[in-house]
Protein backbone atom coordinates (compact mmCIF):
# COMPACT_ATOMS: atom_id res chain seq x y z
CA UNK A 1 0.00 0.00 0.00
CA UNK A 2 2.87 2.42 0.66
CA UNK A 3 4.02 2.23 -2.97
CA UNK A 4 0.48 2.86 -4.19
CA UNK A 5 0.03 5.72 -1.73
CA UNK A 6 3.25 7.33 -2.97
CA UNK A 7 1.96 7.10 -6.55
CA UNK A 8 -1.06 9.30 -5.78
CA UNK A 9 0.94 12.56 -5.72
CA UNK A 10 2.35 11.62 -9.11
CA UNK A 11 -1.16 11.28 -10.54
CA UNK A 12 -2.31 14.55 -8.98
CA UNK A 13 0.82 16.43 -10.09
CA UNK A 14 0.41 15.10 -13.62
CA UNK A 15 -3.06 16.61 -13.86
CA UNK A 16 -1.97 19.91 -12.31
CA UNK A 17 1.05 20.25 -14.60
CA UNK A 18 -0.91 19.34 -17.73
CA UNK A 19 -3.62 21.90 -16.93
CA UNK A 20 -2.27 24.88 -15.02
CA UNK A 21 -4.75 26.55 -12.70
CA UNK A 22 -6.57 23.34 -11.85
CA UNK A 23 -6.91 21.67 -8.45
CA UNK A 24 -6.75 18.26 -6.77
CA UNK A 25 -8.16 16.90 -3.52
CA UNK A 26 -6.80 14.17 -1.28
CA UNK A 27 -9.55 12.92 1.05
CA UNK A 28 -8.58 11.12 4.28
CA UNK A 29 -10.76 9.94 7.17
CA UNK A 30 -8.78 11.26 10.15
CA UNK A 31 -7.26 14.60 11.18
CA UNK A 32 -3.94 12.97 12.11
CA UNK A 33 -3.63 11.52 8.61
CA UNK A 34 -4.41 14.89 7.05
CA UNK A 35 -1.73 16.65 9.12
CA UNK A 36 0.85 13.99 8.32
CA UNK A 37 0.07 14.01 4.60
CA UNK A 38 0.20 17.80 4.33
CA UNK A 39 3.76 17.89 5.65
CA UNK A 40 4.83 15.02 3.42
CA UNK A 41 3.24 16.47 0.28
CA UNK A 42 4.84 19.87 0.83
CA UNK A 43 8.25 18.21 0.81
CA UNK A 44 7.36 16.32 -2.38
CA UNK A 45 6.26 19.42 -4.32
CA UNK A 46 8.71 21.99 -2.91
CA UNK A 47 10.85 21.93 -6.06
CA UNK A 48 7.98 21.54 -8.55
CA UNK A 49 6.91 24.72 -10.35
CA UNK A 50 4.04 25.42 -12.71
CA UNK A 51 4.75 28.66 -14.57
CA UNK A 52 1.65 29.63 -16.51
CA UNK A 53 2.19 33.17 -17.79
CA UNK A 54 -1.44 33.40 -18.88
CA UNK A 55 -2.41 33.60 -15.21
CA UNK A 56 -0.59 36.93 -14.78
CA UNK A 57 -2.51 40.23 -15.07
CA UNK A 58 -2.70 41.78 -18.51
CA UNK A 59 0.63 43.42 -19.38
CA UNK A 60 2.43 41.77 -16.48
CA UNK A 61 4.60 39.71 -18.82
CA UNK A 62 6.63 42.79 -19.76
CA UNK A 63 5.96 45.08 -16.82
CA UNK A 64 7.41 45.45 -13.32
CA UNK A 65 4.49 43.69 -11.64
CA UNK A 66 5.06 42.19 -8.24
CA UNK A 67 4.24 38.50 -8.21
CA UNK A 68 2.99 36.52 -5.29
CA UNK A 69 5.73 34.90 -3.19
CA UNK A 70 4.35 31.47 -4.03
CA UNK A 71 3.86 32.20 -7.73
CA UNK A 72 4.50 29.08 -9.79
CA UNK A 73 4.65 26.85 -6.72
CA UNK A 74 2.12 24.15 -5.88
CA UNK A 75 0.25 25.18 -2.75
CA UNK A 76 -0.71 22.33 -0.39
CA UNK A 77 -3.29 23.24 2.25
CA UNK A 78 -4.87 21.04 4.92
CA UNK A 79 -8.58 21.29 5.75
CA UNK A 80 -9.81 19.70 8.96
CA UNK A 81 -11.98 20.48 11.97
CA UNK A 82 -10.28 22.62 14.59
CA UNK A 83 -7.59 23.82 12.20
CA UNK A 84 -6.42 27.44 12.48
CA UNK A 85 -6.03 27.90 8.71
CA UNK A 86 -9.04 29.63 7.13
CA UNK A 87 -8.18 28.90 3.52
CA UNK A 88 -10.65 28.97 0.65
CA UNK A 89 -10.97 27.26 -2.73
CA UNK A 90 -8.69 29.87 -4.34
CA UNK A 91 -5.87 29.37 -1.82
CA UNK A 92 -4.65 25.89 -2.79
CA UNK A 93 -3.65 23.66 -5.66
CA UNK A 94 -3.77 20.43 -3.65
CA UNK A 95 -6.24 20.30 -0.79
CA UNK A 96 -5.79 17.58 1.83
CA UNK A 97 -9.12 17.19 3.60
CA UNK A 98 -11.11 15.16 6.04
CA UNK A 99 -14.36 13.72 4.70
CA UNK A 100 -16.52 16.50 6.07
CA UNK A 101 -14.25 19.31 4.86
CA UNK A 102 -13.94 17.80 1.39
CA UNK A 103 -17.71 17.55 1.10
CA UNK A 104 -18.11 21.18 2.22
CA UNK A 105 -15.43 22.40 -0.23
CA UNK A 106 -17.07 20.59 -3.13
CA UNK A 107 -20.50 21.97 -2.19
CA UNK A 108 -19.14 25.53 -2.12
CA UNK A 109 -17.31 25.10 -5.43
CA UNK A 110 -20.46 23.74 -7.07
CA UNK A 111 -22.50 26.70 -5.79
CA UNK A 112 -20.09 29.37 -7.06
CA UNK A 113 -19.27 27.57 -10.32
CA UNK A 114 -15.55 27.03 -9.63
CA UNK A 115 -15.86 23.23 -9.46
CA UNK A 116 -14.82 23.10 -13.13
CA UNK A 117 -11.21 23.61 -11.94
CA UNK A 118 -11.20 20.31 -10.08
CA UNK A 119 -9.34 17.61 -11.99
CA UNK A 120 -8.32 14.87 -9.54
CA UNK A 121 -9.79 13.48 -6.30
CA UNK A 122 -8.11 10.72 -4.28
CA UNK A 123 -10.38 8.86 -1.84
CA UNK A 124 -8.05 7.10 0.58
CA UNK A 125 -9.16 4.37 3.04
CA UNK A 126 -12.16 3.72 0.80
CA UNK A 127 -13.25 0.75 2.91
CA UNK A 128 -14.65 3.33 5.34
CA UNK A 129 -17.57 3.69 2.95
CA UNK A 130 -19.05 0.89 5.06
CA UNK A 131 -18.73 2.93 8.27
CA UNK A 132 -22.09 3.39 9.99
CA UNK A 133 -21.46 7.01 10.96
CA UNK A 134 -19.29 8.60 8.25
CA UNK A 135 -19.35 6.20 5.32
CA UNK A 136 -22.24 7.98 3.63
CA UNK A 137 -19.99 11.06 3.15
CA UNK A 138 -17.76 9.02 0.83
CA UNK A 139 -20.89 8.16 -1.16
CA UNK A 140 -22.00 11.80 -1.27
CA UNK A 141 -18.61 13.00 -2.53
CA UNK A 142 -18.34 10.34 -5.23
CA UNK A 143 -21.97 10.65 -6.34
CA UNK A 144 -21.73 14.44 -6.74
CA UNK A 145 -18.48 14.24 -8.71
CA UNK A 146 -19.90 11.56 -11.00
CA UNK A 147 -22.95 13.74 -11.72
CA UNK A 148 -20.94 16.82 -12.67
CA UNK A 149 -20.44 15.66 -16.23
CA UNK A 150 -16.83 16.87 -16.35
CA UNK A 151 -13.43 15.20 -16.47
CA UNK A 152 -12.63 14.52 -12.80
CA UNK A 153 -10.24 11.66 -12.14
CA UNK A 154 -11.44 9.63 -9.14
CA UNK A 155 -8.85 7.42 -7.43
CA UNK A 156 -9.98 5.11 -4.62
CA UNK A 157 -7.58 3.18 -2.40
CA UNK A 158 -8.03 0.53 0.26
CA UNK A 159 -6.09 -2.40 1.69
CA UNK A 160 -9.12 -4.28 2.98
CA UNK A 161 -11.95 -3.89 0.44
CA UNK A 162 -13.38 -7.27 -0.60
CA UNK A 163 -15.76 -6.02 -3.33
CA UNK A 164 -13.43 -3.96 -5.51
CA UNK A 165 -15.22 -4.85 -8.74
CA UNK A 166 -18.55 -3.61 -7.39
CA UNK A 167 -17.10 -0.21 -6.42
CA UNK A 168 -15.18 0.05 -9.68
CA UNK A 169 -18.42 -0.45 -11.61
CA UNK A 170 -20.11 2.27 -9.55
CA UNK A 171 -17.23 4.71 -10.11
CA UNK A 172 -16.96 3.79 -13.83
CA UNK A 173 -13.32 2.94 -13.17
CA UNK A 174 -10.72 0.22 -13.50
CA UNK A 175 -9.61 -2.16 -10.75
CA UNK A 176 -5.97 -2.72 -9.84
CA UNK A 177 -5.29 -5.35 -7.21
CA UNK A 178 -2.09 -6.86 -5.87
CA UNK A 179 -1.36 -9.28 -3.05
CA UNK A 180 2.38 -8.64 -3.01
CA UNK A 181 3.78 -7.90 0.44
CA UNK A 182 7.35 -6.59 0.67
CA UNK A 183 7.44 -7.63 4.36
CA UNK A 184 5.84 -10.96 5.39
CA UNK A 185 3.21 -10.79 8.12
CA UNK A 186 3.81 -12.94 11.21
CA UNK A 187 1.44 -13.36 14.13
CA UNK A 188 2.73 -13.77 17.68
CA UNK A 189 1.38 -14.48 21.11
CA UNK A 190 2.98 -12.90 24.19
CA UNK A 191 2.43 -14.81 27.44
CA UNK A 192 4.30 -14.30 30.69
CA UNK A 193 7.10 -12.41 28.95
CA UNK A 194 7.56 -15.15 26.33
CA UNK A 195 6.92 -14.57 22.62
CA UNK A 196 5.44 -17.49 20.68
CA UNK A 197 4.95 -17.74 16.93
CA UNK A 198 1.21 -18.22 16.42
CA UNK A 199 -0.45 -19.16 13.18
CA UNK A 200 0.02 -21.71 10.40
CA UNK A 201 3.80 -21.76 10.87
CA UNK A 202 3.88 -22.59 14.57
CA UNK A 203 3.55 -26.35 14.11
CA UNK A 204 0.28 -26.37 16.02
CA UNK A 205 -2.01 -25.05 13.32
CA UNK A 206 -3.54 -22.57 15.76
CA UNK A 207 -4.55 -18.96 15.27
CA UNK A 208 -3.74 -16.52 18.11
CA UNK A 209 -7.33 -16.72 19.36
CA UNK A 210 -7.17 -20.53 19.55
CA UNK A 211 -3.72 -20.74 21.11
CA UNK A 212 -4.42 -20.74 24.85
CA UNK A 213 -2.33 -20.46 27.99
CA UNK A 214 -2.51 -24.24 28.52
CA UNK A 215 -0.45 -24.83 25.38
CA UNK A 216 2.37 -22.58 26.51
CA UNK A 217 2.39 -23.59 30.20
CA UNK A 218 2.51 -27.29 29.37
CA UNK A 219 5.43 -26.80 26.98
CA UNK A 220 3.60 -27.76 23.79
CA UNK A 221 5.39 -24.98 21.92
CA UNK A 222 8.74 -23.21 22.31
CA UNK A 223 9.07 -19.42 22.60
CA UNK A 224 11.14 -17.74 19.93
CA UNK A 225 12.31 -14.99 22.30
CA UNK A 226 11.73 -13.57 25.76
CA UNK A 227 10.85 -10.04 26.85
CA UNK A 228 13.08 -9.21 29.80
CA UNK A 229 11.63 -7.31 32.72
CA UNK A 230 12.52 -3.65 32.83
CA UNK A 231 14.86 -2.53 35.61
CA UNK A 232 13.01 0.80 35.73
CA UNK A 233 10.02 -0.09 37.87
CA UNK A 234 8.58 3.42 37.69
Contact 97/27 with Cβ under 8 angstroms? yes
pLDDT, tens digit, 9 for 90 and up, residues 169-184: 988 888 888 877 778 7
Residue 205: predicted pLDDT: 47
Q: What is the pLDDT confidence band of residue 136, given thresholds at 50, 70 and 90?
A: very high
Distance (Å) of CA 12 to CA 117, 204, 214: 13, 48, 54
Highest mean pLDDT among 26-30, 155-159, 196-200: 26-30
Q: What is the pLDDT confidence band of residue 1, given thresholds at 50, 70 and 90?
A: very low
Instruction: Give the mean pLDDT of 130-150.
Output: 91
Domains annotated for the chain, with CATH where assigned, are 7-171 (3.40.50.300), 188-226 (no CATH)
Q: What is the number of other CB atoms lying within 10 angstroms of the CB of residue 143?
A: 12
Residue of 135, 68, 63, 45 whose CA lies nearest to 99: 135
Dihedral pair phi/psi, residue 88, rounded to 5°: -120, -175
Amino acid sequence: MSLVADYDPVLMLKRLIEEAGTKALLVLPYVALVQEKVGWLRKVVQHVKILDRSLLPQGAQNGPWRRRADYGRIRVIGFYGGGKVRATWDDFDIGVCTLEKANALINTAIDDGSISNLRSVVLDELHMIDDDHRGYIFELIAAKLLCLGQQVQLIGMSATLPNLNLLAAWLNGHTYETRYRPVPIEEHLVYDGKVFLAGPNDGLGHTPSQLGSQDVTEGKTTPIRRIEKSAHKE
